Amino acid sequence: MTDAAQARKRALDVVEAMAPNPPVGGLQPELRLIDDLGFDSLRLVELTMALEDALELDPIPQARLAGVMTVDAVQDLAAEMKGSGS
């Protein structure tokens, strides 16, 4: 498994573990963090810190987080950040 694939899988695991309202059937890429999974602003900050820890990343820049609204976007960000050597 590539670093990017591992990062995507680990990000999915972190989101699933932290989701306040996880769906019964499991996470789907199109699920929205706030509207579907119940994340609030504090929980999103905690998610960011958990991703940084789980993937051993440098702090994720705030500008990169602005468009991250779905499970798939979290996975894309994790793969990108891990691939950039952060």
Q: For 16-53, what is each residue's pLDDT tens digit? A: 999 999 999 999 999 999 999 999 999 999 999 999 99
Q: 32: closest CA among 4, 62, 74?
A: 74
pTM above 0.75, yes or no: yes
In the chain, the percentage of residues whose pLDDT exceeds 90 is 86
Residue 83 confidence (pLDDT): 81
Length of the chain: 86
pLDDT band at 69 (very low <50, low <70, confident <90, very high): very high
Cα–Cα distance between 18 and 36 in angstroms, integer?
13
Residue 82 confidence (pLDDT): 86
CATH 1.10.1200.10 for the 3-83 domain, yes or no:
yes
